[in-house]
Amino acid sequence: MIEQVRAFTHGDRYKKLDGYRTFASHFHIEHTLDFLQRQKQQNTDQVPKGLEEPPFVKAFKANGVDIVHLAEFHVNHTPDFIAER
């Protein structure tokens, strides 16, 4: 049964379509919290060292995703970020 299902999942990878990019949107991950914490630790307003390519980027690429829109401010305690937005 699982093999039949996999036939529709492209091996759990988005199928490449010539002339198109694969876009995925609205992921709720904790990247921004880590990003902001590292900015403070490194006293910078730039991309913190070590996050030039966050670990999740490799996972998206491995699954055929070219472009990702993160919904980063939708973390568990979003109201805390209202003033910082």
35 pLDDT exceeds 80? yes
Confidence of residue 13 (pLDDT cuts 50, 70, 90): confident
Surface-to-core class of residue 49, CB atoms within 10 Å of its CB (0-12 exposed, 13-18 middle, 19+ buried): exposed
Cα distance between residue 85 and residue 26, in whole Å: 17
For the full predicted model, state whether its pTM sits above 0.75: no
Cα distance between residue 27 and residue 69, in whole Å: 7
Query: Which token pair is 62?
Result: 């491995």
Quote the mean pLDDT of the chain.
Answer: 81
4 pLDDT exceeds 70? yes
Q: Region 48-58: what's the mean pLDDT?
A: 88
Cα distance between residue 76 and residue 22, in whole Å: 27
